[in-house]
Every structure is written in structure tokens, then in C-alpha cells.
Structure 1
Amino acid sequence: MEIPDLVRDALGDEDVELGVNLGDEDVVCLTPTRTLLYRAEGLLSDEKVQEFPHDVEWLDVDEGRRKTKFVLEYVENTRKFGVPSNRDGAVLELLLTGILRADGVTDPDESVAGAFRFSELVLIVTDKRVVRHIGSAVWTEDYEEYPFSDLTDLSFEQGNVATEVVLEIDGRPKRIKTPNEQSRKVQQVVEDAVFDFYDVGSLEELNATIGVEESEKADDGDAGGSDIDIGGGIDPLVSDDEERSASIDGPTASGSSEAATQAESQSRSGDDSDAASESTGRQERSADAGGSRSSATETTTRSRQSGAASQRDLDAVESQLAELTTAVERHNELLERQQRTIKQLIEELREGR
């Protein structure tokens, strides 16, 4: 990529490490401390270079249909710039390379191999680690990192909707869900970075290699351990045989006999009471039967008449609601079209494109 003269003048003692061509001679350049945006001369603007230092408080991305806007917030102000949507992935990786270095997350010679956004999850893969950030912004100081040097196993578990990247760090699995439509790309980037770090050619070879290294660490830890056996010579308060005997045999024989005698006496008394109650109930139901039939007939007639009227009203309301819904949807569609048109005109005027 050819470096414009105006960018060379702005470099000072620094060099351009990476660059992304935005088309129409516009370019984004990465230096050790800044990202430089070069805009070529256009119909509505002059040739210029904008500077974006890497010591940001947070970074956010606003994706549009044609353009993507990057928002960088600093302690003293906020700066923004836009790029074509088909270049935003490369620009994001370039920006994150500089920001991660400035925050001390990565080494000076470490670069970003891939950056992925899934709703509020951002997954960054460098050549030495995986960094995960969760939040509404793309980057803040609230993040987690998983160095490849601490990796003890790597696997990918595919589900119906998402695939989990399982990074086992010092024996503890860290799971990162990725949508299935992008999971293959994520897996490829993670595998390539890890394989290069350990100089292996497959997932099986990787896990065999890091498994051996972890086993050697465990052996070294055992050799220097204490001679005291914490579990030796200590008997449980209740033995297994005693627990099984108590749960199977239940109460003692004398207690069971007394309980059975009391239950039988109560059962006989209850049977006599139930028989008397049943006789009284039959007499009361016989006396009320005639009056209940007449009342039920009148209630059924009134219910049928009222139900027919209610159904007609309900049909009328549903018809009116459907007409109103259709009208509102058409109105909203027209408003959305107008808003998109106005927004597009404003963006083109601001960017001079």
C-alpha cells in the first residue's frame, strides 16, 4: 500500500505498521501510538489526516447499511470516523491491535488475528491469547484474557444454535458461545493462532502436546508435596453399614407394633362416622333435586342469548382492529423509508462522498 505524503508528514519518528485501503484513495494507518485516517481531496472536502490515539477509555461501533462508524471516547473528548461497511472488519482489527497494546493487554510485537462481534460479546484472537469482552461497548477495561501458554486443552462443542469454544486454562474450562453461522470462521482463526503458537498441525496433535506438558507440571507438583496424608487414619462418624441398616430396617419392632394397633383403632372409628354422614347427605340431595332442575334450565337459556350478542360485538371489534393495524404498519413503513433517506443524505454530506 502506498503511503500518502500527508501521512508521512504526520508520522514524525514513527513508522506505519499496518494499513487498510478504504477505496477512493482513503486509507487507515496504524502506528505504535496512533491510528491515522487519511482522506483524499473530494468535491466537498480538502485532503486531510485525522489522528486517533490508542489510549481510549472505550471503543464502540455503530454499524449502518453502507457505512460503519467508530466512536472513540477519551478522558477529554470523543472522536468519531466512518468507513465503508465492507472494510469495517479490517479496520476494527487494526484499531484493537493498537488499543490492546496501549492498555497493556498484549505485547508490543503482538497483533490481532481476528475480531468477532456477537451482540454484546466481543471475541479477540491474537497470536498469543484469546481476549473476551462482554458489554454494550466493543472495548472497555472490563475484559478476560486466556493466554495460550496456560492452555491445557482445546475443543469445540457444536449445538443446534451455537458452537462453544472450550478453552481449558490450567485445567479449568472457559466456554465461549458463538453462533453457528460464524462458528466455522471463529474455529479456523483460533486453531490457526494456537497451532502456530505450539508449532503443531492438528487439534489432536495440539492436545497431545499440551496434555504432556500439563502432566509434567503435575508430576513436579506431587514431588514437592507434603508427606502428611490428610485422609489417612480418619474414620467417618457414621459408617456405611450403619447408614444402610437404618434406612432399610426403619423403626424398632416394638415401636412398629404399637403404631399399627393405634392405626387400626382409628380406622374403625372413622368408618362408622363416614357411614352416618353418607346417609344424611343422600336425604339432603333428594330434597334439593327438584328445585335445581328448574333453575338450571333458566340459566342455560339466558347464557345462550347473551353469548350470541357477545360474539357479534367481538367480530366487529376484531375487524376494526385489523384495519387499524394495517394502516399503522403502512404509516410506519413510510416513516422508516424517509428516515433512511435523510440519514443517508446527511452521512454523504458529512463525509464528502
Structure 2
Amino acid sequence: MEIPDLVQQELGDEEIRGGVNLGDEDAACFTPTRTLVYRGEGLLSDEKVASYPHDFERLTVSEGRRKTKFSLIYTSEKLELSVPGSRGDAVLERLLEGKLTVSGGIAPDESLAGVFRFSELTLVVTDRQLLKHIGNVTWDADYEAFSFDDVTGLEFEEGSVATAVVLSFNERPERIKAPSEQAPMVRKTLEEALFAYHEVDSLADLNAKVGADPEKNADESGNGLGLESGIDPLVSNDEEGGDGSEAESASAGTQATTAATTEQGTTAEATTDTQSSDVTSVDTDSVEPDTSADPDIAELEAQVAELTAAVEAQNEQLQKQERTIKQLIKELRQGR
């Protein structure tokens, strides 16, 4: 695009970084700090140049049937710029790029990949971050920024009237609904920017590269964890097995205690049978032995009853420890 002489005179020491043809001889020229709009000579007016600094406080956009009007609100004034509707998106992208550069929202060497407006939502995709603004104005200082360094997943959920873009940052999903007619371009822009930034070639490769490692997160979350009731810190976060797991130790302890109880019970039964065989019948009819009269048997029964009660109490304690371990494993996997 040829730069009109009047624009060259207005530039001073600045350079033009981009331009948009507004039809006929009209053009919008963009420098790092302002937008210069050139209007060619007409039947009712002379040629002129209007300047729109990029340090505006707010930006609103009004779309008509043939024209798109931009309102730039500054601290002490309001400027308006009308362009053909077909040039509105290109001008909006350049205006936001200028605003973000001047305000420090993007780096001087950072470039915009795309700008999208959905009702009261405006998205700006750069080559290294996603910027999101929600509100009845198209842009002001109340926006959020999400670095591509923090991306941990990207998904698309297609619907009949809209597509949900689920872009996760540090495992926290940001859901964006894009109308079906704009969704393909949103997807293309996001994928191209993220693929280039993370040096991958497909969505599957991206998610594989940036996806969080649950075992690593669990290990990091477990550092310095103190456990009560004499339970040692976990060595493995595998609930179903693993060398040195507390769940296995608790289960083994239960089995050993149960085996000891069984052995004691068997001994008691054998001793009881021996004592019973020494009882002599008083007549030809069989008589049940009276074990209560034998102090040795009574003492043995008391010992077995005491041991059984102790084992049951120990089993209950081990079960509580197992439940505690399982709960800890669950919370560690959730990153608490």
C-alpha cells in the first residue's frame, strides 16, 4: 500500500507497522503508538489525516449493516472512527495490538494471531498467550492473561449451535463457547499458535507434552507430610500395590495376627480334648465332662477369650490405619 504524502508528514520519527485499505484512497496506517487514518480528497472535502493514540482507556465497537464504528475513550476525550464493515475485524485487531503494546500487555516483539468477539466476550490470541475480556465494552483494563507456558490441555466439544473450547491452565479449565460459524477459525488459530509455541504437530502431541504427571504431583505434594498414630510416611502412592506400601504392611499384619489367633485356638481345643478324655464315666450312660470344675481348663478358656478380644481390637485398629492410608493416597493424587 502506497503511503500518502500527508501521512508521511504526520509520521515524524515513527514507522508504519501495518495498514488497512478502507476503500478508494482512504487508509488506516498503524504505528507503535497511534493509528493514522487518511481520507482522500472528495467533492465536498479536502484530504486529511486523523490521529488516534493507542493509550485509550476503553474501546467499544458498534456494528451496523454497512459500517463498523469504534469509540475510543480517553481520560479527557472520546474519539470515533468509522470504517467499512468488511474492514472492521482487521482494524480492531490492529487497534488492540497497539493498545496492548503501549500498555505492556504484550511484548514489543509479540504478535497477534487473531482477535474474536462473541457477544460480551473478546478473545485475543498472540504467539505466546491468550487474553480474555468480558464486559459490555470490547476492551479496557479489566482483562485476564493466560500464558502458553501454563497450558496443560486443549479440548474441543462440538455442539449443534456452538463449540466449547476447553483450554486448561495449570489443570484449571477455561471454557469458551464459540458460535459454530466462528468455531473452525478459533480452533485453527489456537492450535497453530500452541503447536508452534510448544513445537508439536498435532493436538494429541500437544496434550501428551503439556499434560500434568499425576505421580510427580503426588510426590511433590507429599514432601514433608507428617502422619500420626505411628504410621510411617508413604513410599508408594499405588493404592493396589507396590513395594513398601503401607496398605500391604497393614494387610500383612492383620494376616499374621489372625494366624496367631488360630494357632492359639487350636492349642486350646487340643488341651481341652485331652482333659476331657481323662474323665471316667460314673455309669453305663455317657456323661458330658464338667470343664468348669477343672481350674486349668477354665484358665485356658479365659486366656483364649482375652486373646480373642485383643486380636479383635488390633484388627479394628489396623482397619482404621488402612482407611487412613487409602484416604491419604486419594488426597495426594488430587494434589492436596
**Which residues in structure 2 correspond to 1:295-334 (within 5 Å)?**
none
Report the 3-state secondary structure (helix = DSSP H, G, I; strand = E; otherwise coil) of the residue aligned with 1:69. strand
Q: Which residue of 1 aligns with 2:167?
A: 167
C-alpha change, 1:227 and 1:52, in structure 2 (3 Å) is same
Q: Which residue of 1 aligns with 2:31?
A: 31
**AA in 2 matched with 1:147:** S
Q: Which residue of 2 aligns with 1:195?
A: 195
Distance 1:21 1:232 in 2: 76
Distance 2:227 2:44 in 1: 79
Q: Which residue of 2 aligns with 1:259?
A: none
Q: Which residue of 1 aligns with 2:224?
A: 227
- Contact 1:123-1:132 at 8 Å conserved across structures: yes
- Contact 1:96-1:112 at 8 Å conserved across structures: no
**Which residues in structure 2 correspond to 1:234-253 (within 5 Å)?**
none
Deviation of the 1:226 alpha carbon: 3.0
Deviations 1:250-287 (A, max 9, x none): xxxxxxxxxxxxxxxxxxxxxxxxxxxxxxxxxxxxxx
Deviation of the 1:40 alpha carbon: 1.0
Residues 1:67 and 2:67 aligned together: yes
C-alpha change, 1:123 and 1:231, in structure 2 (3 Å) is farther
C-alpha change, 1:176 and 1:33, in structure 2 (3 Å) is same
Q: Which residue of 2 aligns with 1:9?
A: 9
Q: Which residue of 1 aligns with 2:123?
A: 123
C-alpha change, 1:157 and 1:233, in structure 2 (3 Å) is farther
Distance 1:82 1:49 in 2: 14
Residues 1:210 and 2:210 aligned together: yes
Q: Which residue of 2 aligns with 1:41?
A: 41
- 64-73 vs 120-129, which moves further: 120-129
**Which residues in structure 2 correspond to 1:336-351 (within 5 Å)?**
none
Q: Which residue of 1 aligns with 2:307?
A: none
Q: Which residue of 1 aligns with 2:136?
A: 136
**AA in 2 matched with 1:103:** S
Distance 1:9 1:41 in 2: 17
Deviation of the 1:80 alpha carbon: 0.5
- 95-104 vs 223-232, which moves further: 223-232
Report the 3-state secondary structure (helix = DSSP H, G, I; strand = E; otherwise coil) of the residue aligned with 1:181. coil
Q: Which residue of 2 aligns with 1:57?
A: 57
Distance 1:142 1:208 in 2: 33
**AA in 2 matched with 1:33:** T
Q: Which residue of 1 aligns with 2:79?
A: 79
> Alignment identity in percent?
53
C-alpha change, 1:135 and 1:224, in structure 2 (3 Å) is closer
Deviation of the 1:221 alpha carbon: 8.8
Deviation of the 1:233 alpha carbon: 4.8
**Which residues in structure 2 correspond to 1:256-271 (within 5 Å)?**
none
C-alpha change, 1:193 and 1:233, in structure 2 (3 Å) is same
Distance 1:46 1:85 in 2: 24
- Contact 1:153-1:210 at 8 Å conserved across structures: yes
Q: Which residue of 1 aligns with 2:176?
A: 176
Distance 1:225 1:16 in 2: 55
**Which residues in structure 2 correspond to 1:84-99 (within 5 Å)?**
84-99=84-99
TM-score, length-normalised on structure 2? 0.65
**AA in 2 matched with 1:5:** D
RMSD value, Cα: 2.6
Distance 2:57 2:91 in 1: 18
**AA in 1 matched with 2:162:** A
Residues 1:155 and 2:152 aligned together: no
Q: Which residue of 2 aligns with 1:146?
A: 146
Q: Which residue of 2 aligns with 1:283?
A: none
- Contact 1:93-1:113 at 8 Å conserved across structures: no
Report the 3-state secondary structure (helix = DSSP H, G, I; strand = E; otherwise coil) of the residue aligned with 1:192. helix
C-alpha change, 1:52 and 1:239, in structure 2 (3 Å) is same
Report the 3-state secondary structure (helix = DSSP H, G, I; strand = E; otherwise coil) of the residue aligned with 1:41. coil
TM-score, length-normalised on structure 1? 0.62
Distance 2:221 2:202 in 1: 34
Deviations 1:286-312 (A, max 9, x none): xxxxxxxxxxxxxxxxxxxxxxxxxxx
- Contact 1:165-1:177 at 8 Å conserved across structures: yes
Distance 1:45 1:37 in 2: 15
C-alpha change, 1:47 and 1:210, in structure 2 (3 Å) is same
**AA in 1 matched with 2:168:** E
Distance 2:216 2:158 in 1: 33
Report the 3-state secondary structure (helix = DSSP H, G, I; strand = E; otherwise coil) of the residue aligned with 1:173. strand
**Which residues in structure 2 correspond to 1:94-113 (within 5 Å)?**
94-113=94-113
**Which has the larger helix fraction?**
1
C-alpha change, 1:54 and 1:233, in structure 2 (3 Å) is farther
Distance 1:67 1:5 in 2: 27
Distance 2:213 2:206 in 1: 14
